[in-house]
Amino acid sequence: MLAHLPRRRAAAALAILGFLVAGCAKNAPQDIFRPAGSNAREIDDGLGGQKYIFILAGVVAAIVIAVVLFIIFKFKDRGQDIPEQTHGNPMLEIGMTILPAIILITVAIPTVAKIFNLAKSDDAACVVNVTGQQWWWEYDYPVQNCGGIEITQPIVTSGEMVIPAGVNVQLRITSRDVIHSYWIPRLNGKRDAVPGSLQPLRMQADQPGIYTGQCTEFCGLSHARMRQAVVALDSDSFATWVANQEEAYTSPTDALALEGEGQFISQCARCHQINGLTNSDGTPVLANPEQNLVSGAAPNLTNLMTRTGFAGFTFDLITDACREKLWNAPSEEFSALYLQGVWMDSPAGAEYPVCFNETALREWLRNAPGMKPMFVDPNNLSSTGGLYRGMPNLGLTEAQIDQLIAYLLERK
C-alpha cells in the first residue's frame, strides 16, 4: 500500500491541476466551466456556484484522503498493544456533525437564491419557442420586437437558434413526442422538453459566437445525433438575418434548380415546408408531416442554406475547414462570417460555394437512415400505424439528387 503513495499523490496533484487548467480556450466546445452568458455565469460563480462547490468538494476529498493516508502510516501494526477499546467520543462526533452542517448552510443559502434568480423571466427581451422531437429541435420566433429588432412574420427554423448577442432570450420549451432536454452548456443548464407542457429557460450570450449543445435526455434510437447550437449575432447582423428569413420566396431561374423545385414538390414537400413555394397552378405547397411522421413535424427548409448544420445539427452543411474557421472566429468577425453561411470564402459570383459540404448532403439524400438511424426496422411500420420516425430512404437517383442540391443551394 505504501509503495503506491507517490502515485496517489501525483493523482491528487493532477486533479488540482485539472481545476486550474479548466477554462482553457482549447477545451471542448461544451466545457461546462466556460460560461459565455449571464445565466451560465450565475450557475458558475460565487458561493453556491459550480466552481466553489467543486473546489469545496475537492478540498474535502483531499482532506479525507490525506487523513486516511496518515492513519495508514501512523497506525500500521508494528507490534503495538491492542488499543484501548474506546467506543467513541460524543462531543467530537457532535462537532463533526455540526461542522459539515455549517459548511452546507454556506452553500445552501446562495443556492436557493440562485435557483430563484435563474427562474426569473421578467427581464426577457425576446421569445423563442423551442420544440424537440425525434431527433431535432425546431425554433419558432413569434411576431415580436426581439431585442430591438422587429420580427414581422413568424420565422421557423431548426438546429441552430439565432439570437441577438447581449439580449436575454426567453425560451419556451416543449416536445412533440418523447422527453428531450435542451442544453447549451456555455449559456445555461439543461431544461427538459416535456410533451404537453411549456418549460421556460433563459438564454443570453455576451458575445457573438456559436455555442453548441446536445439533447441530454435519452430520447430513443438516435439520441446521440440530436444536437443543437445557439448562434449569437451582433444586433445589425441579427436584423439582417431576420430580414433574410422573412424574404419572399423566389423560384429558381437556373434550369437544374428548377427541376429540383419539381423534385422537391414531389419528393420532399410531403413533410418539409418551404414557405412561399407554389404548385404550377399557383396554389401553395403545404407540407403534411402529421400524416407521414410520428412526431408530426419535419424541419422547415425555407432558408436551409443559412444554416451550418442539418439533420438535428448533427451533420455539417459547411466543410470541416470552414467550420473550424467559423467556430474559432473572433467575436467581432463571427457575425459577418456566419451570415455568409456556406458561401463564406466563395469568390464573388461563384456558382458553387467553396464551403458547401456536398458529400454530407448527398449522402443524406441518398440514404438518410444510413447516416442517422431513425427506426429499428424501416420495413416494419406497423407499430407506428404506417408513420415514419425521421426521414426514410427515398430511393432518389443521382440525377434527382443533383437537381435537389441545385435547388436547395438557393434556399439562402
Partner 1 sequence: MAIIERPSAVPTFAGAGANAPAVVTPTQGLGVFKRPVAASGWKSWVFTVDHKKLGIMYGVVSMFFFLVGGVEALLIRLQLAAPDNTVLSAQVYNEMFTMHATTMVFLFVMPMAAAFANYFLPLQIGARDVAFPRINALGFWLFLFGGIFINTSWVLGGAADGGWFMYSPNSSPLFSPGHGVDFWVLGLQITGIASLVGAINLIVTVLNMRAPGMKLMHMPMFTWMVLVVQFLLAFAMPVITVALFLLGFERNFGATFFNVDAGADPLLWQHLFWIFGHPEVYIIILPSFGIISEVLPVFARKPLFGYKFVVFSGAGIGFLGWGVWAHHMFASGLGPVSVAVFSVATMLIAIPTGVKIVNWTLTLWGGKLWFTTAMKFAIGVIVLFTIGGVTGVTHAVAPSDTQQTDTYHIVGHFHFVIVGGAVMGLFAGLYYWWPKMFGKTLNEKLGGWNFWLMFWGISITFGAMHIVGMQGQPRRMVVWPEKLTGEGFFNLHFWNQVATWGAFTIAVGVAFFIVNVVVTARKKERAPLDPWDARTLEWITASPPKEHNFDVIPTVHALDEFFHRKYEEVEHEDGHVKLMKVKTAEEILAEEEARADAHIHLPSPSYWPIVLAFGLPIIAYGVIYNLILSFVGAAIVLLAGFGWALEPSVAEDSDYDPPAGGDSTKELATIG
Binding residues among 291-350 for partner 1 as defined by CB under 8 A:
294, 314, 316, 320, 323
CA distance 341 to 304: 10
> Residue 91 Cβ, how far from partner 1 at the closest point, in Å?
11
# residues contacting partner 1 (CB under 8 A): 106
Residue 112, interface with partner 1 (CB under 8 A)?
yes
- Of 90 and 282, CB closest to partner 1: 90
**Site string (136-165) toward partner 1, x via CB under 8 A:** ------------------------------
> Residue 136 Cβ, how far from partner 1 at the closest point, in Å?
16
Residue 101, interface with partner 1 (CB under 8 A)?
yes
CA distance 320 to 238: 24
Q: Which residues of 178-203 are buried (b: 16+ CB within 10 A; e: fewer)?
A: bebbbbbbbbbbbbbbbeeeebebbb
- Of 143 and 376, CB closest to partner 1: 376
Hey, which residues between 351 and 380 contact partner 1 (CB under 8 A)? 373, 376
Q: Which stretch binds partner 1 (CB under 8 A): 181-189, 247-255, 338-346, 348-356?
A: 181-189
Hey, which residues between 17 and 46 contact partner 1 (CB under 8 A)? 18, 21-22, 24, 26-33, 40, 42-43
Residue 216, interface with partner 1 (CB under 8 A)?
yes
Phi first, then psi: give them for residue 317, nearest 5 degrees.
Answer: -85, -15
8 A C-beta contact, residue 311 and residue 362:
no
> Residue 52 Cβ, how far from partner 1 at the closest point, in Å?
9
Out of 6, 86, 250, 283, point to the residue binding partner 1 (CB under 8 A). Answer: 86
Hey, which residues between 376 and 405 contact partner 1 (CB under 8 A)? 376, 383-384
Residue 122, interface with partner 1 (CB under 8 A)?
no
Residue 121, interface with partner 1 (CB under 8 A)?
no
Closest alpha carbon to 307 in 205, 229, 226, 206: 229
> Residue 210 Cβ, how far from partner 1 at the closest point, in Å?
11
Q: Which stretch binds partner 1 (CB under 8 A): 65-73, 155-163, 283-291, 346-354?
A: 65-73
Phi first, then psi: give them for residue 180, nearest 5 degrees.
Answer: -120, 180
| DSSP letters for 353-393 | -TTB-HHHHHHHHH-HHHHS---S-TT--GGGTT-BSSPPP
226: left (phi over 0), alpha (psi -120 to 50) or beta: beta
Residue 116, interface with partner 1 (CB under 8 A)?
yes
Q: Which stretch binds partner 1 (CB under 8 A): 144-152, 219-227, 235-243, 247-255?
A: 219-227
Beta strand 309-310 with 188-193 is: unpaired
Q: Which stretch binds partner 1 (CB under 8 A): 56-64, 147-155, 161-169, 398-406?
A: 56-64
> Residue 118 Cβ, how far from partner 1 at the closest point, in Å?
6
Out of 10, 13, 72, 399, point to the residue binding partner 1 (CB under 8 A). Answer: 72
Residue 259, interface with partner 1 (CB under 8 A)?
no
Q: Where are the alpha helices (DSSP H) in 164-300?
A: 235-246, 255-263
Which grid cell is 366?
441518398
Which grid cell is 134?
425525434
- Of 18 and 284, CB closest to partner 1: 18
8 A C-beta contact, residue 381 and residue 387:
yes
8 A C-beta contact, residue 169 and residue 126:
yes
8 A C-beta contact, residue 215 and residue 313:
no
